Amino acid sequence: MSKKEHDVSRRQFLNYTLMGVGGFMAAGIMSPLVRFAVDPLLKGKEGAKMVPVMDVKDITNEPQNKKFTVKKVDGWHKFDEQQIAYIFKKKNGDILALSPICTHLGCTVAWNDDPSHPNQFHCPCHGGRYTKTGINIPGTPPPAPLGVYKTQVKDGKLYLGEVISRGGS
Amino acid sequence: MLQRIYDWVDERLDITPLWRDVADHEVPEHVNPAYHFSAFVYCFGGLTFFTIVIQILSGMFLTMYYVPDINNAWDSVYYLQNQVAYGVIVRGMHHWGASVTIVMVFLHTLRVFFTGAYKKPRELNWIVGVLLFFVILGLGFTGYLLPWDMKALFATKVGLQIAASFPFIGDWIKLLLQGSDIVGAQTLARFFAIHVFFLPAALMGLLAAHFLMIRRQGISGPL
Ligand code: HEM
Ligand code: FES
């Protein structure tokens, strides 16, 4: 054997073969395991079902606090979750349903409960405030407007679906 | 690249002698199937270890979804098997792997027995091997309850009944394993703890002893 033509030694060849076969087997074992573990990252989110919350005729210009339950699925755990919406008619007659989850750090805001700032949403945690349509007021902690529920009117009833974020967390 | 990282570490920590001492040893001709095909019987020890590695890996990943609680265990297994990507494969690895492990241990034991490898000076390793066998049977027994279906429940009732037939202290052993006067919530929690913490720890300690002894004594000679 001339050295020039065979520059892969027997030892190298065996090493590569062994590493190749070993790597193939390791990958065969590890890939299902890793895919199994990262499944939550790759599972698509399913949109919330629309649920009836109140009669359209009862909606006023003043935000009303409405509680309703939605069916949630968390892996093998199914449960009812209570949600809150502030529902009112805007000046142009459109219905707006705001999520009360503060965009700062997630406390629950209340409508018009702070005498020094009437007709605003107020967050008790760090004094975040929002206008009636949920726009965060500059100079207060929240970085973004309150989320809005997807709305739908059917047979005189208002249905709410998932919360659509208007920026922020 | 890898070579350069290795060299960098080796220059500072001199790690080569560490792994050479473990890895560099002759494989005698009589255990090499390339020379005598019948020498494949010497592979069963290594295959047992391989399947144990698979059991430990797949078991660790199963615990990401499994919950040891009578209200949720069955649903969590159903969920991980049917809703999680590759759930069938991961549970399948553990489920079938459990049987393959026990078959491999058995074949390995037969090889050691029929080649007389348990004789002096290897008596201690035979004893460690028997303990390993019991630990692995224990893993099979405690794991079998975890899916919390009818088969699991009744197999465990039968198994505990067998334990209860042990002379004098049988009832006491049964109560200790069962953790309650029925096979129920406390049994499941207990079996889970034994299955994923106690027995794997014992398994790893015994395996370390097993391999250290083999390294010291070498493979037994040809027949
Ligand atoms: C030699 C080692 C092992 C053996 C023989 C073994 C055996 C078993 C068996 C027979 C089952 C029932 C599986 C079924 O019926 O589908 C099981 C379930 C389970 N094992 Fe193991 N096991 C071993 C190691 C481990 C380790 C190290 C862990 C975790 C660190 C683990 C975690 C689990 C879990 C979470 C389950 C319940 C999920 C299921 O049933 O699919 N196992 N095991
Ligand atoms: S969480 Fe609402 S202001 Fe900080």
Q: Within an 8 Å CB–CB cutoff, is residue B106 touching chain A?
A: no
**Ligand with an atom nearest the CA of residue A140:** 2
Neighbouring residues of A162: CB distance < 8 A, sequence distance ≥ 6: A47, A48, A149, A150
Residue nearest to atom 14 of ligand 1 (CA): B95
- Give domain status of residue A136, yes or no: yes
Q: What is the ipTM of this complex?
A: 0.88
- Considering the domain boundaries, does residue A143 fall inside one? yes
Is residue A81 in some structural domain?
yes
pLDDT in tens, A21-76: 999 999 999 999 999 999 999 988 777 789 999 999 999 999 999 999 999 999 99
Residue A7 has pLDDT above 90, yes or no: no
Which residue range forms the structural domain that includes residue A22?
2-42
Q: Which atom of ligand 2 is nearest to the CA of A127?
A: 3
What average pLDDT does range A72-91 have in this prediction? Answer: 94
C-alpha–C-alpha distance, residues B151 and B172, integer Å: 24
A86 and A111: one domain?
yes
Residues of A in contact with B85 (CB under 8 A): 35-36, 39, 42
Rounded to 5°, the CA angle B116-B118-B123 comes to 155
**Mean pLDDT calculated for residue range B9-38:** 91
For residue A168, the model assigns a pLDDT of 58
A133 occurs within a structural domain: yes
Are A14 and A71 members of one domain? no
> Looking at the structure, do residues A84 and A140 belong to the same domain, yes or no?
yes
Tell me if residue B67 falls in helix, strand or coil.
coil
Which residues from chain B sit within 8 angstroms of residue A75, using beta carbons? 65, 76, 79, 83
Q: List Cα–Cα distances, A134 to A53, A147, A159, A168, B182, in angstroms.
A: 20, 8, 20, 13, 57
Residues A138 and A84 reside in one and the same domain: yes
Identify the DSSP state of A144: S
Write out the two tokens for B180.
């309650």
In this structure, is residue A132 part of a structural domain? yes
| B79/A76 Cβ within 8 A | yes
Is residue A13 one of the residues assigned to a domain? Answer: yes
Note whether A37 contacts B: Cβ–Cβ < 8 A: yes
Same-domain pairing of A82 and A16: no
Query: How many domains are there within chain A?
Result: 2
What mean pLDDT value characterizes chain B?
Answer: 96
Establish if A169 belongs to a structural domain: no
Q: What residues does ligand 2 touch, defined as CB less than 6 Å away?
A: A 102, 104-107, 123, 125-126, 128, 141-142
Q: In the predicted model, is pLDDT for residue A169 greater than 70?
A: no
Average pLDDT over residues A83-100: 95
Nearest C-alpha in A relative to B78: A76
What CA–CA distance (Å, rounded) separates B145 from B188? 7
* pLDDT of A102 above 80: yes
- Option in A36, A76, A77 nearest B85 (CB): A36
Q: Stretch B80-96: mean pLDDT, rounded?
A: 98
Give the gap in angstroms from C-alpha B91 to the nearest C-alpha of chain A: 10
Is there a single domain that holds both residue A64 and residue A124? yes
Complete edge-to-edge strand list for the sheet that includes strand A110-111: A110-111, A121-122, A129-130
pLDDT per position as a tens digit, B140-196: 999 999 999 999 999 999 999 999 999 999 999 999 999 999 999 999 999 999 999
A33 and A59 housed in the same domain: no
Which protein residues touch ligand 1 with a CB less than 6 Å away? B 52, 55-56, 59-60, 62-63, 66, 77, 91, 94-95, 98, 101, 136, 139-140, 143-144, 146-147, 195-196, 200
Report the CATH number that the domain containing residue A137 is assigned in CATH. 2.102.10.10
Is any Cβ of chain B less than 8 angstroms from the Cβ of A33? yes
- Could you tell me the pTM of the whole model? 0.85
Are A11 and A68 in a shared domain? Answer: no
- A62 and A36 within one domain: no
CB pairs under 8 A between A and B: 41
Question: Does A7 lie in the same domain as A81?
Answer: no
Q: Do A68 and A10 share a structural domain?
A: no
The answer to the question of residue A149 being in a domain is: yes
SS3 (DSSP) at B83: coil
Starting from the CA of residue B206, give the closest ligand.
1
Q: Are residues A30 and A101 in the same domain?
A: no
